[in-house]
A and B are shown apart, each in its own frame.
Chain A
Amino acid sequence: MLTGVLTPSAGTVSVCGLAPVPQRTRLALRIGVVFGQRSQLWWDLPLRESFGLLRHIYRVPAAEHAARLRRCVGLLELDGFLDTPVRQLSLGQRMRGELTAALLHGPEVLFLDEPTIGLDVVSKQAVRSFLAELGATGAVTLVLTTHDLADIERLCRRLVVIDHGRVVHDGSIEALHSRYGSRRRLVADLDSPLPSGFTVEGATLVALEADGHRASFDLLTDAAGPVVARLAALSSLRDLSLVEPDIEDVVARLYAS
């Protein structure tokens, strides 16, 4: 809907001050789109030629095109397969090609639909750090739809959660955590079992395992120090770990509610 492919059944959309559907071709010059499961590239042509065709489609001056292409080739390490037909590329290579294709006309907004879906770990990392860098330059606004929550944690400052067409959250990840009461969790392995009825200020005991030798607490505040000190006073600590809240849990809870 934001790119002008679909017509909204109700309401209005505005992107770069344009209405996506009626002004589709004008808007297309100002946005870039990467579909995780659809391709902008020519299956039977090498990447280099696909990029050349896109230059004509978007009417980009040759010098600008060459400069942007050089930058993307450098950052995404496309050198090794620029002349391989797209059909012979791996998914990770193709996705790096797709990213380049979407950026060659210098869009103001880059829409990414599941950009890391199905990628191997290395390509996923490469794509994420490229996008993080791109976002940090401030030249392009990134709009990402994804079910991969690691993408979100790494890339997004603002997060909108949509459930059955309704916005159920709009704000930062931190805001989401505090709103849905996600807590950091402290897991302590103790030398002697935790006495029953033990309480500590600033944390609640949520689980006791291994005959009381392993205790898990949800931290109610940012400070883990006092809780650790209390535990250390009680028994010598064998091990200690702090688990950051998992956004997947939060989102799962959000959809369940």
Chain B
Amino acid sequence: MAELRAYVALLGGQWRSLLSYRASFVVEAITNIGGSALDVVAVLVIFRATPTMAGFTLPEAILMVSLSSCAFNLADFVVGNIERLKTYVRTGMMDSVLVRPLRALPQLVVMDLPLRKALRLLLAVGVLMVALRVNAIDWTPARVALAVVVPLAGGLFFGSIFVLSACLAFWWVDSGEVGNAFTYGGRDFTAYPVPVYAGWFRRIFAYGLGFGFVSYQPALALLGHADPLGLPGWTGFASPLVALVAVGVAAAVWRSGIRYYRSTGS
């Protein structure tokens, strides 16, 4: 409880820090919306050229991209800034965080929460609402629950990917943009139905790494649409499990990263 209050205080500090740069905060918050709308626009553009994509109609594809966008923006808002871990390591902020009586990851997350990205998340949720309306979904209690849980599970999944790719910085301080292949690459992968990909690339990303369970499989389950790739319908409901596995892996890697942490001298 006392610990929670400490995090709330930290969040307050972050908010007051932001207020010292009011104008740039407003500008950033607004320009940030553009980034979120872009993946939906990309899908709309593709459908100008073709009536269906891998056998899916426009509303169905919009449902997939909006699930992906909700999940990604949720994760990006909450833990996205952890990709700055290499900066934290380099500037010594990591050391400052580690000598405090709180856990390191929540501290870093709260101290650098990108409040300017909040609008983006709201927009993504809005698009998802529209997508759920325009598709003729046969609502059952299980599907209602799924519609609520999937964006959250996807957020957890992407959050784990963010943490995992940030952990690279523990072993490799100058890890550059390698991690982005999995975070932003994962977002782009989940924006489209899995059948548009082929071969080993599809197998690794969709099933090996689990990106297929962020938006594609759950969207099929919501729509009651059979998977052209032949996976059974219940796999759509497996996305929370996949997310939990990802969280477990991320937590373990983070912990061993902290153990391995060598600081940067002084």
Which residues of chain B have C-beta atoms less than 8 A from A40's C-beta? 96, 99
- Chain B nearest CB, measured from A153 CB (Å): 22
Query: A212 on the interface (CB 8 Å rule)?
Result: no
Determine the distance from Cα of A200 to Cα of B171 in the docked complex, in whole angstroms: 63
Q: Which of B8, B10, B99, B102 has the most CB of A within 10 A?
A: B99
Which residues of chain B have C-beta atoms less than 8 A from A31's C-beta? 99
Report the contact-size class of chain A (Cβ under 8 Å from the partner).
20 to 34
Query: A163 on the interface (CB 8 Å rule)?
Result: no
Determine the distance from Cα of A35 to Cα of B99 in the docked complex, in whole angstroms: 11
Given A44-B17, A45-B16, A58–B101 Cβ distance below 8 Å?
yes
Using CB atoms and an 8 Å cutoff, list the residues of chain A in contact with chain B. 3-7, 21, 24-26, 28-29, 31, 33, 35-40, 42-45, 49-50, 52-53, 56-59, 85, 113-114
Determine the distance from Cα of A28 to Cα of B263 in the docked complex, in whole angstroms: 17
Given A5-B261, A42-B17, A45-B17, A57–B9 Cβ distance below 8 Å?
yes
Using CB atoms and an 8 Å cutoff, list the residues of chain B in contact with chain A. 2, 5-6, 8-10, 12-13, 16-17, 20-21, 91-93, 95-96, 98-103, 259-263, 266
Task: Indicate if the CB atoms of B10 and A53 lie closer than 8 Å.
Answer: yes
Q: Which of A4, A21, A57, A114 has the most CB of B within 10 A?
A: A57
Determine the distance from Cα of A52 to Cα of B13 in the docked complex, in whole angstroms: 9
Task: Indicate if the CB atoms of A3 and B99 lie closer than 8 Å.
Answer: yes
Task: Indicate if the CB atoms of B99 and A56 lie closer than 8 Å.
Answer: no
Task: Indicate if the CB atoms of B266 and A28 lie closer than 8 Å.
Answer: no
- Chain B nearest CB, measured from A109 CB (Å): 12
- Chain A nearest CB, measured from B125 CB (Å): 30
Determine the distance from Cα of A3 to Cα of B12 in the docked complex, in whole angstroms: 27
Which residues of chain A have C-beta atoms less than 8 A from B8's C-beta? 56
Q: From the candidates A26, A35, A42, A58, name the one contacting B95 in the complex (CB within 8 A).
A: A35
Task: Indicate if the CB atoms of B98 and A5 lie closer than 8 Å.
Answer: yes
Task: Indicate if the CB atoms of A38 and B98 lie closer than 8 Å.
Answer: no
Which residues of chain B have C-beta atoms less than 8 A from A33's C-beta? 99
Q: From the candidates B20, B93, B95, B266, name the one contacting A44 in the complex (CB within 8 A).
A: B20
18 contacts between A and B (CB under 8 A): A3-B99, A5-B261, A5-B263, A7-B259, A21-B259, A29-B101, A38-B92, A38-B95, A40-B96, A42-B13, A44-B20, A45-B16, A45-B20, A50-B13, A56-B9, A57-B10, A57-B100, A113-B266
